Amino acid sequence: MGQGVTLGNQNRGLAVVFGVRLPPALSPPFIEQALRSSEGIAGLSAAMHGLIGAQIAMLAAIAAINADTKRMVRASDAYRRLTTIPVVGQLTALAFTAAVDDPERFRRSRDAGPYLRLVPRR
């Protein structure tokens, strides 16, 4: 989400140069106000359309990736069991199962921590 914040800040920073103040969140009122207030100002209107378009496209891509992640977690019993652990979310469960790959290669469960470099080697 860091890039979304960066694009939003660029929108607001660019608008301030032209004397336009925008609210802090990307929402339908923000988009309406940004486009309405930039109309008729040479250079600002095209830049605002481009930045808002990029921000909307990025948020749509993030939503699609989140949907794919949820679909993957729901499809696997191992992922679902991992997400029942407090503070283990979908991305952590996916990353852990991808890193461990084949749990049979560990003789003991405590050998997984050093393999993942979470604890010092024995």
d(CA 10, CA 58): 15
For the chain, the C-alpha Rg in angstroms (whole number) is: 22
Summarize the confidence of residues 72-91 as an average pLDDT.
Answer: 89
d(CA 45, CA 78): 50
- The more confidently predicted of residues 86 and 45 is 86
For the chain, the average pLDDT equals: 83
Q: What is the pLDDT of residue 67?
A: 92
Q: What is the pLDDT of residue 118?
A: 82
Percent of the chain with pLDDT over 90: 6
The string of pLDDT tens digits covering residues 63-76 is: 899 899 889 888 88
Q: What is the pLDDT of residue 1?
A: 56
Phi-psi region of 44 (alpha: psi -120 to 50; beta: other; left: phi over 0): alpha
**Taking 90 as the threshold, does the pLDDT of residue 86 lie above it?**
yes
Number of H helices, E strands in the chain: 6, 0
d(CA 34, CA 49): 9
